[in-house]
Amino acid sequence: MNLETVPLGTMWRVKSVHEDPFDHEKGVHLEEIGFLEGELVSVLVRAFPGDDPMVVRVGHSTFALRRVEARCVEVEPDYSSV
Amino acid sequence: MSSTPGASSTDTLVALVGNPNCGKTALFNLLTGGQQKVANYAGVTVERKEGVVRLAGNKSLRIIDLPGIYSLRPRSQDERITCDIIQGRVWGEKKPDLVVCVVDATNLRRGLRLVLTIKRMGIPCIVALNMSDLATQRGLNISVDALSQELGLTVVQTVAIKAGGDGPLRTCLAQQSWESLASIPASSANQTGSNKQVEMDHVAVKQILHRLNLDHLIPDHLTDRLDRLLLHPLLGPIILAGVLFFIFQAVFSWAALPMDLIESATSGLTTYLNSTLPASWWRSLLTDGLIAGLGGVVMFLPQILILFFFILFMEESGYLPRAAFLMDRLMGSVGLSGRSFIPLLSSFACAVPGIMSTRTIANERDRLITILIIPLMTCSARLPVYALLIGAFIPQRSVWGFELQGLVLFGLYLTGIIGAMLVALAMKVLTTTGRQTRPLMMELPTYHRPTLLSIGLGLWQRIKIFINRVGGIILLLTILLWFLASYPSAPEGAAGSAIEYSYAGWLGRGLQYVFHPIGFNWQISIALVPGLAAREVAVSALGTVYALSGDNTATLLTPILSSQWSLATALSLLAWYVFAPQCMSTLVAIKRETGGWKAPLIAGGYLFALAYLASFITYRTAVFLGWG
């Protein structure tokens, strides 16, 4: 499952960030702004039309991401209830 | 590079470093009060803000506010400056003696990761836990001592938006012993931090927060509630359209009164001087050169003030990046991002403040393209020219229930917008950087109430930048144009108007060969030369060429123009004014904001070519239709 396709408003945890084969910096930058293993993430808004860009909450921060950026973030269900 | 131990305290340099939106600049404003210098770093358009902090016991420190960073791997020009400065790698900039790491207390994870990175590099630093009042409000009880022990660094609490909220930091800076700072060793060979380092820091921060019992998420309900409305897929854009419409109206209408006052003040002063001083070359220099030039500079201030008040308000409150998010898709279709929208919109009032506001565009390429297409937005200075020509040549009748004159005016606005979109689109298709999807990864900070101090200081800095670096050149060029239009003076008993015999007249007569293919006569060609000072000046210049005098030049010109010019010529001149770089203030502002002559030359060149082409097509088509 990756962040691009998760339902709106549901809580997930970052499993890993993988490299975009066309842009090696993208993965690194996603990690540096806070998409790190174990962080809680959720999608708050998807723009209309086209669902791009989208608004994502990670930890305490909120970011606008493009779909191709969100696609790099692998997520897993939030098993613990925080 | 010169962190000499034992340097006197005025030479001590402190740098503020932190994540974007951690309240760093508000803290800087509070520490320095009004004592700030804003300049640019050599060779780049990144703003350099330096100030002086006066501490107890007559001590003072130099302090710089560095652009916000997430890590020491820079993504943009701003971030690179910060990384280079704290490592002492910028030529001509002193390496800071101490870094104050500003951390948003409500977002410790991200802030502390940066603290660990900076500490690992061996840079002397202390931590300012900012927005500590908000953290307490939300039930986060951060023990300063425990955190300080965990990090091995001095930690102080600050509240940047409250008077006196910088007290603990001031005390700490006053007690700092600067001699012992230089000797902290860097702990790792891999200093800038690879992927692995980011993950290691992340784990370290998580452990610290866990030990301090701070590792639970506390949502910001106000921001969540506002975002549900303001970022709503349907309501969000509607609210934004309302906000933008309001700003546009305000820039247009609120500025009208002060601009009228400035205009009547300059013309009143000119009339007074002309009636009291003897006619001479220096009276003409004083009134037509100096006072006209100064008036032309001050004329921009009301619009700049109003526009930047709104931009600063939106920036400080956190709405600006959200507006950019909402506009991203629309602007993305021509290869720009949402950040370009507000500069473009405000350029309908005037291109100069629009160009200045492109600083909010982080991506350099997007910023340059936005600057290049800004002159195509129909600014208010074109209106007098449009009004004159439409009044003289377009008949007052209705077409499909609309006023024909209004339709033509609307068409001129639309042509400018479509032209700008096509240019941006061409740059998207033709350049490799244009075809790439650019990263967005834009933070939407929590909402804050803007402080009067920050907005006031921001406005003051914009005014200073405009007057110092744009105003001077505009004034000089106005005086130069006055000289060109006044010398050499007309011979005794000359038949035509004085301007015909001046350098501007010669230039215009030369230019008529260039402009003949697009239907301009020599009168237009001459009027275009002083019209470079500002577009609306062309109207009064035409009046001068046709030897009219008095206040209502436009009314007197209308019958002359409609009898002497063909419709094809008038339409061609309208097309010219949609595209032509007929405003040197705009070109000067472009030079100032891009830091060189390359961009203004490109802008001037391509706009000239575009205007010539558009006028040529318009003129030839009109002649073909029998309107010649």
List pLDDT tens digits, range B69-128. Answer: 998 888 777 888 899 999 888 888 888 999 999 999 999 988 999 999 999 888 899 999
Do B439 and A66 make contact, defined as CB atoms within 8 angstroms?
yes
Asked whether residue B473 carries a pLDDT value surpassing 70, the answer given is: yes
Q: How far is CA A10 from the centre of its chain?
A: 12
B19: exposed, middle or buried (C-beta count within 10 Å: 0-12, 13-18, 19+)? Answer: buried
Task: Give the closest of A49, A59, A65 to B441, CB-based.
Answer: A65
The 3-state secondary structure of B75-123, one letter per residue: CCHHHHHHHHHHCCCCCCCCCCCEEEEEEECCCHHHHHHHHHHHHHCCC
Asked if pLDDT for residue B441 goes beyond 80, the answer is yes
DSSP structure class, residue B431: S
Q: Strands of B546-605 (E only): list them.
A: none
- Residue B550 is predicted with a pLDDT of 55
Res B186: pLDDT: 57
pLDDT of res. B3: 40
Quick one: pLDDT at residue B319?
93
Q: Is the pLDDT of residue B614 over 60?
A: yes
Best of A32, A41, A80 to substitute, by most chain B Cβ atoms within 10 angstroms, is A32
- For the stretch B223-281, pLDDT in tens is 989 999 999 989 999 999 999 888 878 877 888 899 889 989 988 998 899 899 888 88
The span from the CA of B96 to the CA of A1, in Å, is: 45
Predicted local distance difference test score (pLDDT) of residue B544: 75
Phi and psi, residue B43, nearest 5°: 80, -5
User: Does B217 contact A31 at a Cβ distance shorter than 8 Å?
Assistant: no
Taking residues B465-488, what's their average pLDDT? 80
Checking if the pLDDT of B8 tops 90, the result is no
Residue B313 has pLDDT above 50, yes or no: yes
Alpha helices in B431-502 (DSSP H): 432-435, 452-465, 472-486
CA separation for the pair B370, B423 (Å, rounded): 10
Under an 8 A CB cutoff, do B329 and A28 touch? no
From B626, B587, B585, B628, select the one nearest B607 (Cα to Cα). B587
Name chain A contacts of B325, Cβ cutoff 8 Å. Answer: 47, 53, 55, 64
Among B314, B307, B359, B346, which residue's Cα sits nearest to residue B595? B359
High-pLDDT (> 90) share of chain B, %: 34
% of chain A exceeding 90 in pLDDT: 54
> From edge to edge, which strands make up the β-sheet containing B13-18?
B36-40, B47-55, B59-65, B13-18, B98-104, B125-130, B155-157
In tens, the pLDDT along B405-421 reads: 888 988 998 999 999 99
Q: With 50 as the cut, is the pLDDT of residue B9 above it?
A: no
Q: How far apart are CA B83 and CA B89, in angstroms?
A: 9
Q: Yes or no: say if A31 and B195 are a contact pair by the CB < 8 Å rule.
A: yes
Chain B residues in contact with A73 (beta carbon < 8 A): none
pLDDT category of residue B4 using cuts at 50, 70 and 90: very low
Helix (H, G, I), strand (E, B) or coil at B423: helix
Contact residues on chain A for B109, CB-CB shorter than 8 A? 34, 39, 59-60
Higher confidence at residue B223 or residue B381? B223
Largest pairwise CA distance in chain A: 36
Interface size between A and B, measured as CB pairs under 8 A: 105
Distance from CA of B320 to the nearest CA of A (A): 13
Contact B217 A82 (CB under 8 A): yes
Q: How far A7 CA lies from chain B's nearest CA (Å)?
A: 15
First to last CA, chain B: 70
Phi and psi (nearest 5°) for B399?
-120, 125
pTM, two decimal places: 0.82
The ipTM estimated for the assembled molecules is 0.94
Burial class (CB in 10 A: 0-12, 13-18, 19+), B538: buried
Interface contact A60-B107, CB threshold 8 A:
yes
- With residues binned 3-state (H G I as helix, E B as strand, rest as coil), the percentages for chain A, rounded to 5, are 15, 40, 45
For residue B521, give the amino acid letter. N
Q: Looking at residue B5, what is its pLDDT?
A: 39
Closest to A25 in 3D by CA, of A72, A67, A64: A72
Mean pLDDT across chain B:
85
Nearest CA in chain A to B326: A47
Q: Which of A28, A61, A66 has its CB closest to that of B437?
A: A66
Nearest to A69 among B206, B220, B440 (CB): B440
Phi (first) and psi of residue B127, to 5 degrees: -110, 130
CA-based nearest residue in chain A for residue B328 = A53
Q: Any idea of the CA torsion for B503, B505, B507, B513, to the nearest 10 degrees?
A: -160
Minimum distance, in Å, between the CA of residue B524 and any CA atom of chain A: 48
- Per-residue pLDDT reduced to its tens digit, B168-212: 999 999 888 776 665 555 555 444 555 678 888 899 999 999 999
Please enumerate residues of A whose Cβ is less than 8 A from a Cβ of B.
23, 25-34, 36-40, 44-50, 52-53, 55, 59-66, 68-69, 82
- B240 chain-A contacts, CB cut-off 8 A: none
Partners of B47 in beta bridges: B40
For B16: left if phi > 0, alpha if psi spans -120 to 50, otherwise beta; the answer is beta
Q: Which helix (H) or strand (E) holds B562?
A: helix B553-564
Pick from B84, B191, B101, B104: which is nearest to B151 by CA?
B101
Sole residue written with tokens 């009219």: B548
Q: Are A30 and B441 in contact (CB under 8 A)?
A: yes
Residue B6 has a pLDDT of: 38
Contacts 24+ apart (CB under 8 A), B318-322: B318/B21, B318/B223, B318/B444, B318/B445, B318/B446, B318/B447, B318/B448, B319/B230, B319/B243, B319/B447, B320/B360, B321/A64, B321/B442, B321/B443, B321/B444, B321/B445, B322/B227, B322/B230, B322/B231, B322/B236, B322/B444
CB B357 within 8 A of CB B589: no
pLDDT tens-digit series, residues A47-67: 887 888 999 999 889 999 989
**Residues on chain B bordering chain A, Cβ-to-Cβ distance under 8 angstroms:** 70-71, 73, 75, 106-107, 109-110, 195, 198-199, 202, 206, 216-218, 220, 223, 227, 231-234, 236, 321, 324-326, 328-329, 437, 439-446
Cβ atoms B328, A53 nearer than 8 A: yes
Yes or no: say if B181 and B97 are a contact pair by the CB < 8 Å rule.
yes
Position B610 confidence tier, pLDDT thresholds 50, 70, 90: very high
Q: Which long-range contacts (CB under 8 A, 24 or more apart) does B568-571 make?
A: B568/B519, B568/B618, B568/B619, B568/B622, B568/B623, B568/B627, B568/B628, B569/B519, B569/B520, B569/B521, B569/B524, B569/B619, B570/B389, B570/B392, B570/B393, B571/B393, B571/B618, B571/B619, B571/B622, B571/B627
Interface contact flag, B217 A46, Cβ < 8 Å: no
Of the pLDDT bands very low, low, confident and very high (cuts 50, 70, 90), residue A44 is very high
Closest CA to B608 of B515, B520, B527: B515
Contact B439 A28 (CB under 8 A): no
Do B441 and A38 lie within an 8 Å CB cutoff? no
The C-alpha atoms of residue B420 and residue B412 are separated, in whole angstroms, by 13
Give B325-370 pLDDT, tens digit per residue: 998 888 888 888 888 888 898 788 788 888 988 887 878 889 999 9
- Best B108, B131, B440 member to test A by mutation, with max A CBs in 10 Å, is B440
The predicted pLDDT at position A81 comes to 54
A26 CA to chain B: closest CA distance, Å? 8
Strands of the sheet containing A40-46, edge to edge, are A73-77, A12-17, A40-46, A54-58, A61-65, B442-443
Supply the pLDDT for residue B194: 58
Query: Mean pLDDT across chain A, nearest whole number?
Result: 88
Instruction: Tell which of A8, A31, A62 to mutate to test the B interface (max B CBs under 10 Å).
Output: A62
